[in-house]
Amino acid sequence: MSASVIDGKARAAALRKSTAQAVAQIEKNHGFKPGLAVVLVGEDPASKVYVRNKAEQTKECGMNSFEHRLPEETSEADVIALVEKLNADESVDGILVQMPLPRQINEDKVVLAIDPKKDVDGLHPENAGRIVLGQPGLVPCTPQGSVILAKDAVGDLSGKEVLVIGRSILVGKPVSLLMQNENCTVTMAHSRTRDLADHCSRADIVVAAVGRPEMVKGEWLKKGATVIDVGINRVPAPERGEGKTKLVGDVDYESAEKVAGAITPVPGGVGPMTIACLLMNTVFAAMDSRGLERPSIS
């Protein structure tokens, strides 16, 4: 019996619909539309596609979208100056600077320049600290989406054994804290973890975010475990023709789906949730900054 597939595309569409309904209600009750500003520096193809998708989905949800495209050679000072201008712009509720940035720009300095109340990517140290303290703030989008998908698959997460593979500040660390805030018992694994397969065998939920193609094998998993695969790796696909590639996760899907109870595919799992959570965060930021109660978005 194969695992049930956790459909991230469908869940993200539902979250965007709920966000759009909240935006319509905000405009009706309070007379404003939340606004998201996205800054793109350079010509990275993947980033350009991602920014275009964000802009389209922002507008589809009824929000204002502001795009700022800067040339590759833009200086760090100019990027920070733009961020500071957006911080002061009352029509902008959320700011997202698309990563990666060109080499001449220090990404940490740019993140620090963003007003934490507009940091809809949840990367500012103030928002990271709020997760640690269990306080409301703006939560990183991919970890947030991962937890939503896990809750959809499992229900109440309280008491569940969770293994997070990967300790990055973008996914591994925040998702482990979010799972702890859901009353899970969390183990964090990484490149130096001994006997990773043994840790996997005890976990009710495995969140794979290590960046190694198909590293987690089905035989490592506890029968019926829920697998949230955050990895996106492009690998050769000779079966599709010479020079062709395909996307795979950090989990060997073919073997894992035979053991797991539920599993996210790659692509089509966690990925679509990232933008959906970004839009939700923008609504929350807009309400927080005005001292208004956050709407229920689910």
Beta strands in the chain (DSSP E): 4-5, 35-41, 64-70, 94-97, 161-165, 185-189, 205-208, 226-229, 233-236, 245-248, 262-263
Q: How far is CA 118 from the centre of its chain?
A: 16
User: What is the number of other CB atoms lying within 10 angstroms of the CB of residue 199?
Assistant: 18
* Cα–Cα distance for residue pair 130/123, rounded to 1 Å: 11
Q: Is 84 left (phi over 0), alpha (psi -120 to 50) or beta?
A: alpha
Which residue of the set 98, 118, 173, 222 is catalytic?
98
Q: Which two tokens stand for residue 70?
A: 């800067």
Which one is catalytic: 93, 119, 121, 250?
Answer: 121
Residue 139 per-residue DSSP state = P
Residue of 54, 117, 160, 173 marked catalytic: 54
Question: Quick one: CA torsion of 53, 56, 59, 61, rounded to 10 degrees?
Answer: -60
Show the CA angle centred on residue 242, arms to residues 238 and 248, nearest 5°.
40
115 catalytic? Reply is no
User: Among this protein's residues, is 121 annotated catalytic?
Assistant: yes
- Tally of CB atoms within 10 A around 217: 16
The position carrying tokens 């696909």 is: 237
Structure tokens at 207: 């969140």
Our separate counts of H helices and E strands in the chain read 10, 11
Closest CA to 257 of 282, 292, 221, 231: 221
**Which residues are designated catalytic?**
54, 98, 121
